[in-house]
Amino acid sequence: MLDDFEKELAYCAYCPKLCRHVCPVGNAERRESVIPQAKMAMGHMARNGTVSLTEDYASVFFYCNGCGLCTEFCEHDIPVSEVLFEARAEAVARGVQPKTLQNFADRFYARNERLVRKLHGLVDEHYFVEEAQVAYMPGCDLIDDSPDDVQKTLDLFAAAGVDYVSIMESDLVCGGYPLWAAGYQSEFRHVAEEQARRLSGYRKVILACPACVYTIRHVYPKFGVNVTAEVVHVSEFLDTIAHRLPVKQTVQAAYYHDPCYLGRWLGVYEPPRRLAGLVTRKVLEFAHNREQADCCGGGGLVPDVAPQTASAIAERRLEEPNQAGVGVVVTACATCVKNLGRAGRDMEVLDIVSLLHRSLE
């Protein structure tokens, strides 16, 4: 309900555009209507009845990567993307969501089914152990777009002598972030409840997708759903066993790109850097890094709604390594790998898991 965010909407509506410069979507589009202040002002006007939402008016809510840069900048800590995701739900409820997101839930479930089958084809069946205490959940973009990284992750666990991690046996490979971001809240709640039941069968679950770690840890509870298992990102887990990884430095230099959900939203900055440092002589920092890191453009379903904008954001992010003549960018999120990789042309963009695997002795 937008009413829950009355104060946040009003603050932004009256703000003299103070955070406009940090918004990746606003910067790529150059349209006034997609800077954070305007998107929130639209929500404010929709809430107070000044505008009645049409597909066009509501479209601005979907021009958000959920990157959190505006919130980081704002002295009032306004959670703009959370409010905009709520506004998306309002749009869905009125049937005025963008065309590309119509029937999104059906497509989500169909993709899920496909990915469940694909996952079983990717790794040997012995990795699926019902009684396991600790499970690994690769997540949709990893299975779909970086399928080799699933086995590579398992190889890294084995190389460090960790033999107790199984792959999470489930008919759901996703924590539901895409449904939340698309504004399909009742479907999201359903997936959250189902997934919480499955997750709670384990003591610890290691996820490859930062957005789903965030969703399970912080969004589920807002929907009244709690998970008893400890949910960690794969980089956090690998960091705890890194001393046992038989790797050597094989890469001269690589930039580390902070995924928004892993960095700003979960506060995980150092573990992936430490891991990259094990195998890279020089881990280079973007001028905007950690809390200030720029987005890759892949979050918040922007690639579904505005693919060219998502690419433009990625291209802008890659300008720095391009200019420095460094050909490798490492990150810790399959969505970032996908979106940066598409824009990368001559740039090698890879997940930390891939980088470590390449350097196994």
Partner 1 sequence: MIGTEEDVTQDLTRAVGGEHVSSRPSDVMFYARDCWARRHLMPDDPPRHPVWVVWPGAASEVARVLQVAGRHELAVVPYGGGSNLVGGAGFGDDRPVLVVDTKRMSRVLELDETSLIVQAQAGITGGDLDEYLRVRGLFVAHMPTSLSQSTLGGWLATRSAGAFTSRYGRIDRVCMGITAALPDGSVVRTRVAPRRATGPDLMHLFLGSEGALGIITAAHLKVVRVSKVRVWLAGGFKELSQAVAAMADIMSSGTRPVVASIADPVVALRHSGQPSFMLVCSFEGDGELPVVQRDEARLLVLAHGGAYLDPAAASGFWTARRNDVFGDIIARAESRVIGEVDIGADWRHLAMVADDARGRLESMGCGVTMELGFFGLEGGALLCKWQLPEISDPEDVGLRQDEALAIVLDAARRGGGAVAHHRGVGRQRSAAVRAQLGNRFDLFADVKRQLDPKGLMNPWLTEGA
Q: What are phi and psi of 170, to 5 degrees?
A: -160, 155
Which of 9, 22, 60, 196 is the binder for ligand SF4 (CB under 6 A)?
22
Determine, following the binding rule CB under 6 A, whether residue 69 of this chain makes contact with ligand SF4.
Answer: yes
Report the DSSP pairing between strands 134-137 and 328-331. unpaired
Interatomic CA distance for residues 176 and 178, integer angstroms: 6
For position 10 contacting partner 1 by CB under 8 A, the verdict is yes
241 binds partner 1 (CB under 8 A): no
Taking the C-alpha atoms of residue 268 and residue 284, their distance in angstroms, rounded to an integer, is: 17
Q: How many residues bind partner 1 (CB under 8 A)?
A: 32
Give how many residues touch ligand SF4 by CB under 6 A. Answer: 24
Partner touching 192 among partner 1, ligand SF4, none, CB below 5 to 8 Å by kind: none
Among 2, 10, 15, 96, binds ligand SF4 (CB under 6 A): 15
| Chosen from partner 1, ligand SF4, none, partner binding at 317 (C-beta under 5 to 8 Å by type) | none
Q: 119 near 139, Cβ under 8 Å?
A: no
- Looking at the Cβ atoms of 72 and 193, the one nearer to ligand SF4 is 72
Residues 130, 109: Cα–Cα separation, whole Å:
23
DSSP string of 56-107, one letter each residue: HHHHGGG------HHHHH-TT---HHHHHHHHHHHHHHTT-S-GGGTTHHHH
Does residue 32 belong to the site contacting partner 1 (CB under 8 A)? yes
Select from 42, 60, 64, 83 the one that contacts ligand SF4 (CB under 6 A). Answer: 64
Q: Which does 60 bind (CB under 5 to 8 A by kind): ligand SF4, partner 1, none?
A: partner 1
Sole window of 78-86, 177-185, 240-248, 268-276 interacting with ligand SF4 (rule: CB under 6 A): 78-86
Interface with partner 1, residue 50, by CB under 8 A: yes
Q: State the DSSP code for 260.
A: T
Q: Label residue 176 left, alpha or beta by phi (over 0 means left) and psi (-120 to 50 means alpha).
A: left
Helix (H) or strand (E) holding 192: helix 185-199
Instruction: Find the binder of ligand SF4 among 7, 76, 222, 282 (CB under 6 A).
Output: 76
d(CA 94, CA 54): 9
User: Which C-beta is closer to ligand SF4: that of 81 or that of 195?
Assistant: 81
Query: Using the rule CB under 8 A, which residue among 5, 24, 36, 60 binds partner 1?
Result: 60
296 binds ligand SF4 (CB under 6 A): no
Beta bridge partners of 207: 137, 233
155: tokens are 């190889």
Among 9, 23, 207, 242, binds ligand SF4 (CB under 6 A): 23
Whole-angstrom CA distances from 252 to 38, 272, 279, 282 are 44, 17, 9, 6
**Coil, strand or helix at 350:** strand
CB 75 to partner 1: min, Å: 4
Task: Summarize as ranges the residues that interact with partner 1 (CB under 8 A).
Answer: 7, 10-11, 13-18, 20-21, 30-33, 38, 41-42, 44-45, 48, 50-51, 54, 56-57, 59-60, 74-76, 287
Task: Summarize as ranges the residues that interact with ligand SF4 (CB under 6 A).
Answer: 11-12, 15, 18-19, 22-25, 36-37, 40, 64-70, 74, 76, 78, 80-81
